[in-house]
Amino acid sequence: MVTISAIKADVGGFVGHGAVHPRLIGEAERRIGEAIAQGLLLDGRVSSCGDDVNMVMTHHHGVDADVVHHFAWDAFVAMTAIAKELHLYGAGQDLLAEAFSGNVRGAGPGVAEMEIAERVSEPFVVFAADKCAPGAWNLPLYKMFCDPFNTAGLVIDSKMHAGFVIEVHDLIDRRRALFHCPEQMYDLLVYIGTPGRFVVKHVFRRDDPDQPVASSSTSRLSLIAGRYVGKDDPIMIVRAQNGLPAVGEVLEPFAAPYYVAGWMRGSHNGPLMPCGLQDATPARFDGPPRVVGMGFQLADGCLVGPRDMLGDVSFDRARGIALEMADHMRRTGPFEPSRLPAQDMEYTTMPAVARAMEGRWEPIPDTAPIVATP
């Protein structure tokens, strides 16, 4: 068995919230090299999407392994020190815990992991997004594993015809449920259509339910910290081919950009724009939100790749559409649906404005018009 761990955090933006400084990437790569030499990791790669550092690692320690999480935490702490030295923006932003306590889940970093029996050929894609919330993966995961108009294999591949099991987490009441698709697809949609609360955590094959085929990060930073600490900027791992969606079926949902919660100050709806790793540098209104796809083959636990999957020219039109969607949303500025509904905003002046407004509201009379006093 081999474990794939994709762990990410924002430990300081360059410039503002737009990108990661190369020295942070260099530090993470150096540490991963050491960890491979020491035998802790089999392999690892470092990349970024916006201001988030992504570490994709393989090892034999299983999911939620103390040693691997501790390694990732220490790497983020070391990168934070460099971010402080360079006065990068929001140094240590996603490290919400004071110190490591056995697991980075709930401490700020986003984690997607799966322990698998490596197949003869094991293609998989790690997706990372910036300026959005973890529920951003609900729609593409639904399309990949439940929608035959996206995934032809659901209809024409006998190894996929039975469908998939979708595990959904309720981030507010901290509970989970399984949905067996296709039969329970409508029930599933009732929940995952509310992506701010219900998030697809894992996907399993029905005839091999021990083996996860997709795994996503679900941390909601504001729920952990109880205050605004940036957007959650999720990551996920999706395996492909041979009884699973083909690589092209895994990528296809991102050809039709959709709106996600995030963008400027974590408080706006914006289109999730697929882009190449070089272009994952949100700028306009701190966005629009970005998604990158890193394609790998596993070879005895080692990572062959990444290939920059969403950088392909076949996503150029999707980028154009996303930019047009961004124009539409920007026109309405502080009005919904450009601005998120009040309860979903990551920060707000509402309490202060409401205090200042005290005494200025009066009951609406049945007949008399209001009289403006000079």
Catalytic residues: 10, 228, 231
Q: Which of 8, 17, 143, 220 binds Mg ion (CB under 5 A)?
A: 17
Token pair recorded at residue 272: 């999730």
| 103 among annotated binding-site residues | yes
The least distance separating ligand 13P from the CB of residue 133, rounded to whole angstroms, comes to: 10
Site for ligand 13P in 267-286 (CB under 6 A): 286
Supply the angle between the helices 22-37 and 66-85 in degrees, to the nearest 10: 150
Question: Which residue's entry shows tokens 């959005």?
Answer: 132
Examine residue 274 and tell whether it contacts Mg ion (CB under 5 A). Answer: no
| 131 among annotated binding-site residues | yes
30 contact partners, CB below 8 Å, separation of at least 6 = none
CB burial string 252-287: b at 16+ within 10 A, e below: bbbeebbbbbbbbbbbbbbbbbbbbbeebbbeebbb
Q: Which stretch binds ligand 13P (CB under 6 A): 64-72, 159-167, 207-215, 260-268?
A: 260-268
| Conformational region of residue 242, where left means phi above 0, alpha means psi within -120 to 50, and beta covers everything else | left
Based on CB atoms, which residue is closest to ligand 13P, 140 or 282? 282
Examine residue 231 and tell whether it contacts ligand 13P (CB under 6 A). Answer: yes
In this structure, the strands spanning 52-59 and 110-116 are unpaired
Q: Which of 3, 5, 7, 13 binds Mg ion (CB under 5 A)?
A: 13
Site for ligand 13P in 101-140 (CB under 6 A): 130-131
CB 180 within 8 A of CB 206: yes
From the list 264, 174, 178, the residue with the least C-alpha distance to 223 is 174
Q: Which stretch binds ligand 13P (CB under 6 A): 189-197, 228-236, 314-322, 362-370?
A: 228-236
| 130 among annotated binding-site residues | yes
Examine residue 230 and tell whether it contacts Mg ion (CB under 5 A). Answer: yes
The least distance separating Mg ion from the CB of residue 285, rounded to whole angstroms, comes to: 14
Site for ligand 13P in 4-43 (CB under 6 A): 10, 17
Examine residue 95 and tell whether it contacts ligand 13P (CB under 6 A). Answer: no
The least distance separating Mg ion from the CB of residue 8, rounded to whole angstroms, comes to: 9
Examine residue 130 and tell whether it contacts Mg ion (CB under 5 A). Answer: yes
CB burial string 308-325: b at 16+ within 10 A, e below: bbbbeeebeebbeebeeb
Q: Rounded distance, CA 117 to CA 122, Å?
A: 9
From the list 182, 200, 213, the residue with the least C-alpha distance to 139 is 200
Q: Which of 51, 113, 122, 147 binds ligand 13P (CB under 6 A)?
A: 51
Q: Which of 202, 239, 265, 339 binds ligand 13P (CB under 6 A)?
A: 265
Q: Could you give the string, one character per residue 284-323, with x where binding to ligand 13P holds by CB under 6 A and - elsewhere?
A: --x-------------------------------------
286 binds, among ligand 13P, Mg ion, none (CB under 5 to 8 A by kind): ligand 13P
Residue 217 is given by DSSP the state -
| 208 among annotated binding-site residues | no
Token pair recorded at residue 241: 């081919």
Token pair recorded at residue 189: 């949609």
CA distances from 106 to 133, 172, 219, 320 (A): 15, 14, 7, 36
The least distance separating ligand 13P from the CB of residue 271, rounded to whole angstroms, comes to: 15
Examine residue 266 and tell whether it contacts ligand 13P (CB under 6 A). Answer: yes
Q: Which of 41, 246, 272, 325 binds ligand 13P (CB under 6 A)?
A: 246
Token pair recorded at residue 313: 């020219």
Residue 108 is given by DSSP the state S
Q: Which of 264, 277, 294, 298 binds ligand 13P (CB under 6 A)?
A: 264
CB 13 within 8 A of CB 73: no
Q: Could you give the string, one character per residue 34-53, with x where binding to Mg ion holds by CB under 5 A and - elsewhere?
A: ----------------xxx-
Residue 339, beta-bridge partner list: 268
The least distance separating ligand 13P from the CB of residue 230, rounded to whole angstroms, comes to: 3
Residues that bind Mg ion (CB under 5 A): 10, 13, 17, 50-52, 90, 130, 230-231, 233
Residues that bind ligand 13P (CB under 6 A): 10, 17, 50-51, 93, 130-131, 230-231, 233, 246, 248, 264-266, 286
